[in-house]
Chains A and B, each alone.
Chain A
Amino acid sequence: MQEDLACTLLSKHFGEFAAVDEVSFSIPRGAFFSILGPSGCGKTTLLRMLAGFQQPDSGDILIKGSSVLHTPPNKRPVNMVFQHLALFPTMSVAQNIAYGLKRKGVPKREHATLIDDVLAKVQLPGYGDKRIDQLSGGQKQRVAIARCLVLNPAVLLLDEPLGALDLKLREQMKIELKRLQREFKTTFVYITHDQSEALVMSDHVAVMNKGRFEQVGTPQELYYQPKTAFVASFVGDSNQYAGTVKEQSGQLITIVTEHGVRLLSHGGQPMPLGSPVTLFIRPEVMQISTSRPEAEQDNCLQVTILRMLFDGARSQLQVETSEGAVLTVALPQTADYQALEPGRSVYVSWQASQCLCFPVATETQPEAVQ
């Protein structure tokens, strides 16, 4: 497969601090690639190096197979949608789009057609003469994308452009961005700290932490088969349970908590007996039942309901185990669970294959999801 963008051992240090630390990846042509990470993980620095605004300390950037390390930003075949869009306020919509065309040397008589075409594709036909301050947030977004895509870049870089929008509009723009990417068949590199944006839109996601890629994979792989504790806790919601390894047979690991509760879990890597581990259980894999399940379950805990968190289809239940740990469980909105109320004792159960455990990292992890 031909690659539009590839990086090899790319590094950037600010003093002692490694903002980007030997990152290597390649993106196939026409893919939607997201870099997901908490703020300060180095994703913006990485994007700015791709755009040419920062020089890497070492490593190489290849666009369509040739190195662009010594190409200034205005000569690189990449364009960027900035976080705050950076539309030129002194120009109209059409002038904003024409700016790049002029610099590229496209003959003036072709401008009008190209501008009309791209505005139609971003669903803003006839907006050419509007001033930037006459547009709504979503419309500005579309103009910023049109301004780049009209130049047919090899790669379009997007720096969290949806951050400033309200929730409803953000949901719409996610779908819209995906549609535009399909239509233009351009390679998108999208950076965000919002996992939902990354999961919904991307073909491939790289989870970045402390200047390194923790894992690169499809959204499904990251969600169901996280390779590290960081990915497990950062992508999607998880309950975290601390314990030590009691027994390991193949991929099945028996864990004992501080208070002697035995839990079974799937474990992807061999772990020495007695070593501390963290168990990750997603809220939606846990089954709630009012009486003890009859069939033998891998894991079953008797818990007390603390409170109900009503959020329509995404409602959750906070429960407390007998040893005092608080777990969050997805609450299906069906008639069976209408009678639940705080203080009531219920059972939660889940399969060993649906939870994961990782050795306790010595490094600090993102805040445990409570």
Chain B
Amino acid sequence: MSAEPSNANRTQYRLGFWLLLAPIVLWLGLLIILPHIDMVLVSLRERIASRQYEFSFSNYTAFFTEPLYWNTFVRTAVMSILATVLTLIIAFPVSFYIAKVLTGRPKIALFILCLIPFWVSELVRTYGWMILLRETGLISGALQWLGLVDQPVEMLYNDVAIMVGLIYTSMLFMVVPLVTTLDSLDNSLIEAGYDLGGSSWHVMRSIVIPHAMPGIMSGCIVVFMLTLGNYLTPTLLGGKDSLWFTEQIYTQFITRFNWEQGAAFGILLLILSSLIVWLGLKITRQSFTRVMS
């Protein structure tokens, strides 16, 4: 008697489980896994005549033999790592201040201030930097007015401008995980650190940073991936010579209509980001599940 309803319950439970799981399975399958499988297949073929394709590694060999592709790839990786590190260096004190120094309303206010730039689109935000940095822009004008320079200064279209834009765009994604982990640090641990004779530097190094490590890593992973895959900011602030790898992919797909080459680049970028994230986790001895929880 009692076995039947429990069986029915179990069937119901299973049905509910699969129904809840369905959207995410569909989403992952249709938008992530399927396109990637197709991309791998497309990247591994070569057009030999109109509508005639053949299996080949030529798209990949093209990448390794053409220095422009190669250089852009390495440059994108290095710039992204640098942007991530700089974002961390700027965001850490800000997050510490929000999480540990402020309380009540000012804390919430400052946190919201970090969020406000994200209410406008990335395009408008980047355009804001262009207004400031361009030759006829605010900073150039101010410098001339002050008499520090005697002709307009162009501050756009260089690596520093790209870096500034990338850090600005990434800030929130570093601050949020950092504030969350720092908030969870018991104040008495910091006090105990001082009480046992530690200076601010020691307390930071041996208590606060080890505690915040999962937050630091999750912030870094998100910022790094966003930066590596960013298209708008490097293009607008860096101009023609920004040499960002996503631009290469765009060019192959849209301008040159070479989907095979573009797909190969896409796969290479995926491998690169996975590799660097894996390395980062290995070096800091953090596990991916812990960082993301």
B195 at the interface (CB under 8 A from A): yes
Write out the residue numbers on chain B whose beta carbons fall within 8 Å of the beta carbon of A82. 188, 191-192
The answer, among B188, B195, B207, for a CB contact under 8 Å with A73, is: B195
What is the CA–CA distance of A79 and B197 in the complex, to the nearest angstrom?
9
Which of B188, B195, B202 meets A79, CB within 8 Å?
B195
Chain B nearest CB, measured from A120 CB (Å): 20
Residue of A nearest to B191 (CB): A53
Per-position binary interface string of chain A over residues 73-87, scored 1 when its CB falls under 8 Å from any chain B CB and 0 otherwise: 111001110111011
Contact of B186 with A by CB under 8 A: yes
Q: Which residues of A contact B198 (CB under 8 A)?
A: 74, 99, 103
Q: From A52, A53, A90, A100, give the contact of B196 (CB < 8 A).
A: A100
Compute how far the CA of A72 lies from the CA of B196 in the bound complex, rounded to whole angstroms: 12
Interface residues of B in 197-244 (CB under 8 A from A): 197-199, 202, 206-207, 210-211
Instruction: Give the residue among B188, B195, B210 with the most A Cβ atoms within 10 A.
Output: B195
* Across-interface contacts of A130 in B (CB, < 8 A): none
A51 interface residue (CB < 8 Å to B): yes
Return the contact of A84 from the options B188, B193, B196, B202 (Cβ within 8 A): B188
Out of A74, A78, A83, A148, name the residue touching B188 (CB < 8 Å): A83
B55 at the interface (CB under 8 A from A): no
Q: Which of B196, B197, B211: most chain A Cβ within 10 A?
A: B196
Contact of B195 among A80, A87, A88 (CB under 8 A): A80
B189 at the interface (CB under 8 A from A): yes
Contacts of B27 in A (CB 8 A): none
Residues of chain B touching chain A, judged by Cβ–Cβ distance below 8 Å, are 186, 188-189, 191-199, 202, 206-207, 210-211
Chain B proximity mask over A84-112: 1 for CB below 8 Å, otherwise 0: 10111111000000011001100000000
- Say whether A301 faces chain B, with CB atoms less than 8 Å apart: no
Q: Do residues B196 and A147 form an inter-chain contact, with CB atoms below 8 A?
A: yes
Whether A51 contacts B195 in the complex (CB less than 8 A), given A86-B186, A90-B210, comes out as yes
| Complex contacts, A73 vs chain B, CB 8 Å | 191, 194-195
> Is A151 part of the contact surface with B, judged by Cβ < 8 Å?
yes
Q: How far apart are the CA atoms of A195 and B199 in the complex, in Å?
A: 36
* Residue contact A88 to B206, C-beta cutoff 8 Å: yes
CA distance A74 to B188 in the complex (A): 14
Cα distance, A53 to B187, chains bound together (Å): 12
A residues apposed to B, CB below 8 Å: 51-53, 72-75, 78-80, 82-84, 86-91, 99-100, 103-104, 147-148, 151
Q: Are B202 and A86 in contact (CB under 8 A)?
A: no
Which of the residues B188, B194, B210, B211 comes within 8 Å of A72, measured between beta carbons?
Answer: B194
What's the minimum C-beta distance from A90 to chain B, rounded to whole angstroms?
A: 4
- B286 shortest CB reach to chain A, Å: 12
Give Cα A299 to B146, complex, Å: 96
Q: Which residues of B contact A86 (CB under 8 A)?
A: 186, 188-189, 191-192
Within the assembled complex, what's the spacing in Å between the Cα atoms of A84 and B211? 17
A157 nearest in chain B by CB position: B195
Determine how close the nearest CB of chain B comes to the CB of A68; give it in whole angstroms.
13
Residue in B closest to A100 when the chains form the complex, CB atoms = B196
B209's nearest neighbour on chain A, judged by CB, is: A90
Give me the 7 closest cross-chain CB pairs, A-B, nearest first. Answer: A103-B197, A100-B196, A86-B192, A90-B210, A86-B188, A74-B194, A82-B188
B101 nearest CB across to chain A (Å): 15
Q: How far is the CA of A84 from the CA of B187 in the complex (A)?
A: 11
**Residues of the A chain whose Cβ atoms lie less than 8 Å from the Cβ of B199:** 74, 103
Asked if A99 meets B191 with Cβ closer than 8 Å, knowing A88-B207, A90-B210, the reply is no
Tell me the minimal C-beta distance from B31 to chain A in angstroms: 39
Residues of B within 8 A of A103 (CB): 196-199, 202
User: What are 23 A-B residue pairs whose CB atoms fall within 8 Å in the complex?
Assistant: A51-B195, A72-B194, A73-B195, A74-B195, A74-B197, A74-B198, A74-B199, A80-B195, A82-B188, A82-B191, A84-B188, A86-B189, A86-B192, A88-B192, A89-B211, A90-B211, A91-B206, A99-B206, A100-B196, A103-B196, A103-B198, A103-B202, A104-B197
